[in-house]
């Protein structure tokens, strides 16, 4: 009876603390994957918000609200919606008015928006999906 107690005590003493390193490594890997997942979700959300704001501005410029607004007014609305992108040149807008049917008049409002997500986590490191480059095209509203 004494021999079995001695053997079990020796094996438990020699294995003491061995799960600590594995637990720390596992927890660290979990935190890194969680950080990546949160970063990805926030960037996808930011991309959706930027695209929606650009579409609204192009729609307003095309006359979707009943009357055309100027480029400056449409850009002002984008800047109000995307306040965090305003600083540091993180947001660039460029307008174009292509003629699609060859009659010499603009038929489409195209807004190209280039933005960088305002992520300050590890500012010197570029993460994937950090930059947005979208072109939104909306047909101009005209009575025919």
With a threshold of 0.95, does the pTM exceed it? no
- Average of per-residue pLDDT across 122-139: 81
Mean pLDDT of 133-143: 85
Q: Do 110 and 61 meet the contact criterion of CB atoms below 8 Å apart?
A: no
The one-character DSSP state at 119 is: -
Question: Other CB atoms closer than 10 Å to residue 28's CB: what's the count?
Answer: 10
| Tens digits of residue pLDDT in 8-45 | 555 556 666 668 888 999 999 999 999 888 888 888 88
Instruction: Give the pLDDT confidence of 70-119 residue by residue, as tens digits.
Output: 888 988 999 888 887 777 778 899 999 888 887 878 889 999 999 988 77
């Amino acid at each position: 009876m004494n021999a079995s107690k001695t053997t079990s005590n020796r094996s438990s003493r020699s294995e003491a603390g061995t799960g600590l390193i594995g637990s720390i490594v596992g927890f660290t890997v979990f935190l890194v994957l969680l950080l990546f997942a949160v970063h990805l979700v926030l960037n996808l959300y930011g991309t959706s918000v930027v695209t929606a704001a650009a579409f609204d501005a192009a729609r307003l410029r095309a006359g979707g609200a009943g009357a055309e607004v100027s480029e400056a007014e449409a850009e002002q609305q984008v800047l109000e919606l995307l306040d965090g992108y305003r600083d540091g040149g993180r947001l660039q807008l460029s307008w174009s008015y292509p003629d699609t049917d060859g009659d010499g008049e603009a038929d489409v409002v195209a807004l190209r928006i280039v933005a960088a997500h305002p992520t300050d986590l590890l500012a010197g490191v570029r993460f994937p999906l950090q930059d947005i480059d979208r072109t939104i095209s909306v047909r101009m509203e005209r009575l025919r």
